[in-house]
Amino acid sequence: MKETKYIFVTGGVTSSLGKGIIAASLGKLLQARGFKVTNQKLDPYINIDPGTLNPYEHGECYVTVDGHEADLDLGHYERFLNSPTRRANNITTGRIYQNVINKERRGDYLGKTVQIIPHITDEIKRNIKLLGSKGEFDFVITEIGGTVGDIESLPYIESVRQLRWELGKNCLIVHLTYVPYLAAAKELKTKPTQHSVKALQEQGVQADILVLRTEHDISIDMRKKVALFCNVETSAVMQSIDVPTIYRVPLNMQKEKLDEVVLTKMGFDLAKTPEADMVKWIEFVEKLENAKEEVHIGVVGKYVQLPDAYKSIIESLIHASAYNNKKLKLELILSDKLNDENVEKKLHKLDGIIVAPGFGQRGMEGKFAALKYAREKDIPCLGICMGMQTMTIEFARNVLGLADANSTEIDPNTKNNVVDIMDEQKNILDLGGSMRLGAYKCKLKKGSKVYDIYKKENISERHRHRYEFNNTYKEDFEKAGMMCTGLNEESNLVEIIELKSNKWYIGVQFHPEYSSTVVNPHPLFISFMKAAIENQTSSSHKNQEQTVKI
């Protein structure tokens, strides 16, 4: 079995430097050379997973195909590599300690005192090497969350130190730091990078490659200075300069020869290694950067103050707008502040509307107002997860005449709960909740809009929700024109609804945004964007006609 190479990406000086983007970019470049690559994220928080975290704490909760609630960086990995991740791709300190404690309770340690070293570090190493144990991948690139020097990261850095000796040339460390620009002095400062590398060295780890995040070009002389003080070759000191789009980063890192240096240091002969094929990636980036005409899309949600809460939706819209040769003009609209009185003022400039996911009743009435406006004005509208559920409630209230239509999440005593909990989940929910997580099959109704969009009858999409459409009302909805066009036949659950009377009004119980990648944008978002562009064009014609009449 071939030997898997392990690359670790650490960060220093400050958080939010973009370790995930650098890790994903390196993965993309190696993949483009023909290697099999996967990315992994080690998160130092003690939560078992981000599933219970408020999106304002940690951004969106990403869901893998096997139903694991994961860090949002896994979304970057999938969007860049066009390859699904799984539970093993995201490990938290909470998971590590839970596993160790469970082993201790079972007696696996034969009465020994359980300690950080070797028991916690052994568990960390086991989880890191799990992805490479079956020989599926040539490279496993592991991003370590947090900043070097944080007390939470110490066991991870210690595990990397041990692996460095165990794996030899099959292990490499990339350290990402920040080089600030002092406006008063009009110069870049490398001292923070020197201190960061020193902190890493004090923990027994020597970086092989330094990637310097910067707002200004770093000269060769300054790179030589960093190399001298940080014990790396000058060729291994690279810059990652600010760019308008994260999708430019792999191309910039290719110019910096990141992939070449990595391969050379890990014993590969570059003369026998194919060049990176980035043609499709370059085509996408050129479309994205050269688009001039705007399309105005609004995302209505309850967490819009932190855009990362809807990261995958936003990136999916970027993919779809670029492939439609349009520049995305995104407006994030707080549903809490939306109502029937101000909805016209806030939404009238939009070409398309997305009603976003989100647990809890806060902001629901604002979503109803947005949906009523989109439905009556025939504005292209996509409801995702809770967005689909609010579509059904708004339709029940304002079309079916069920004035008290609601969800059991809001009022379990309401007679007209058009969104309900699956019967087999009701008792579980009382004990703390359960969800449908991960990929589930869905059969599309032939002749429907979604069938035309997907161009196939059977699909599989990822879920993250507790509540379902209440089938008691299915016949009433379809008689009134809201068709149930996607079903999970195993559980007889409604997965997709669409309005016959509108040009583009679709709700999906799943999360299509999790499956949209750079080279394979999701067909729902592509179709939604086309509809928004057509709506833009038709609205323009209407305005011209009105001007002529006046």
The catalytic residue among 60, 158, 256, 513 is 513
d(CA 216, CA 157) in angstroms, rounded, equals: 30
Cβ pair 381, 350 in contact under 8 A: no
Residue 79, number of CB atoms within 10 A of its CB: 27
Give SS3 for 519.
coil
Write a three-state SS string for 27-69. Answer: HHHHHHCCCCEEEEEEECCCCCCHHHCCHHHHCCCEECCCCCE
- 160, exposed or middle or buried, with CB in 10 Å at 0-12, 13-18, 19+? buried
Q: Strand pairing partners for 210?
A: 175, 237
Active site residue 463: no
Tokens for 466, please give them: 């507790």
List 385, 394, 465, 522, catalytic entry? 385
58 part of the active site: no
Q: Are 347 and 353 spatial neighbours (Cβ–Cβ below 8 Å)? A: yes
Rounded to 5 degrees, what angle do the CA atoms 497, 503, 504 make?
45
- Alpha helix locations (H) across 46-184? 55-58, 73-81, 93-106, 121-130, 154-167
**Residues with Cβ within 8 Å of residue 423, at least 6 apart in sequence:** none
Residue 139 DSSP SS3: strand
Active-site annotation holds for 442: no
Q: Which residues are catalytic?
A: 385, 511, 513
